[in-house]
């Protein structure tokens, strides 16, 4: 598994020290020149880039014209096509449209499973494969995850619920061992230790250790049991001086994230 942690723009030049690849939020390319310049550098230096559609940050996928502009401009290795939160039909409709849109040759289209139940998740995943998608993602916070791992701590129920759902889809051969899967975000960082026997899980993106560090939450040997409330967009105006008091804890959490989950540092 390879992991990328989204960071405030003031730390972005340091991120290759601990990120296996770069995870790009396209709406920030239009909002922040330093963010844009970093990804220009990343492209020039052959960094692996996965470009999101900014659904989680905006509540809806970013403007189609701007998405197409940035995909054409950067030619990312992967692009997560627009999806609709917990709406299988709308997400499938979008995926069908984007399956017909020509993107740069080396850009792999990724579709996100959106569902209100494991039955819908199975249907969504299967139909994405029928549409020709070679990589499929699972979001971190779907409500139905909690039905599959009831627990009084929401972060535990959500994170382990995703493990349970993906495990069941794998057991039922909806997910094949040779498939390619991306995991979007996390509720509790210790979740990813449970995917080591699922070789189809290729990539993870989560700002969890960074946001936890900014909030003063310290990872221990078992991770943490609460999800940070701050979002990456809220940190983009933070300066180096703003972040300096948190740097030790941020780097501690980044290190512990990989240690807890047995991921190469």
**Can you spell out the DSSP letters for 181-203?**
EEEE--SSGGGGGGGTT-TTEEE
What is the tally of structural domains in the chain?
Answer: 1
Look at the pTM and tell me if it is higher than 0.85: yes
* DSSP state for residue 60 in the 8-state scheme: S
Domain extent at residue 97: 2-258
Q: Which residues of the chain have pLDDT under 50?
A: none
pLDDT of the residue at 199: 95
Say if 17 falls within a structural domain.
yes
pLDDT of the residue at 258: 97
Bridge partners, 183 (sequence order): 138, 204
Distances (CA, A) of 73 to 70, 100, 249: 5, 19, 36
* DSSP state for residue 1 in the 8-state scheme: -
Report the alpha-carbon distance of residue 216 to residue 256 in Å, rounded.
15
Nearest C-alpha neighbor of 218 from the set 164, 256, 180: 256
Nearest C-alpha neighbor of 4 from the set 234, 192, 225: 192
Give me the CATH number covering residue 36: 3.20.20.105
**Tens digit of pLDDT for each residue in 156-184?**
999 999 999 999 999 999 999 999 999 99
């Amino acid at each position: 598994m390879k992991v990328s942690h989204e960071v405030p723009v003031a730390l972005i030049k340091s991120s290759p020290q601990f990120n296996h690849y770069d995870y790009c939020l396209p709406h920030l390319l239009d909002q922040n020149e330093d963010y844009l310049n970093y990804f220009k550098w990343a492209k020039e230096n052959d960094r692996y880039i996965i470009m999101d559609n900014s659904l989680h940050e905006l509540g809806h996928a970013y403007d189609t014209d701007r998405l197409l502009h940035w995909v054409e401009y950067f030619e990312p290795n992967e692009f997560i096509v627009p999806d609709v939160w917990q709406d299988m039909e709308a997400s499938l409709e979008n995926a069908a449209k984007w399956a017909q849109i020509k993107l740069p040759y080396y850009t792999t289209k990724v579709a996100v499973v959106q569902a209100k139940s494991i039955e819908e998740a199975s249907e969504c995943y299967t139909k994405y494969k029928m549409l020709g998608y070679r990589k499929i993602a699972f979001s971190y916070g779907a409500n139905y995850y909690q039905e599959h791992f009831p627990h009084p701590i929401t972060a535990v129920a959500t994170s382990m619920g995703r493990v349970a759902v993906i495990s069941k889809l794998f057991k039922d051969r909806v997910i094949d061992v040779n498939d390619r899967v991306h995991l979007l975000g996390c509720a509790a960082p210790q979740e990813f230790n449970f995917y080591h026997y699922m070789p189809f899980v290729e990539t993870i993106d989560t700002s969890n250790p960074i946001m936890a560090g900014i909030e003063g939450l310290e990872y221990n040997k078992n991770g943490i049991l609460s999800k940070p409330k701050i979002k990456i967009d809220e940190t983009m105006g933070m300066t180096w001086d703003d972040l300096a008091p948190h740097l030790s804890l941020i780097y501690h959490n980044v290190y512990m994230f990989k240690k807890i989950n047995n991921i190469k540092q």
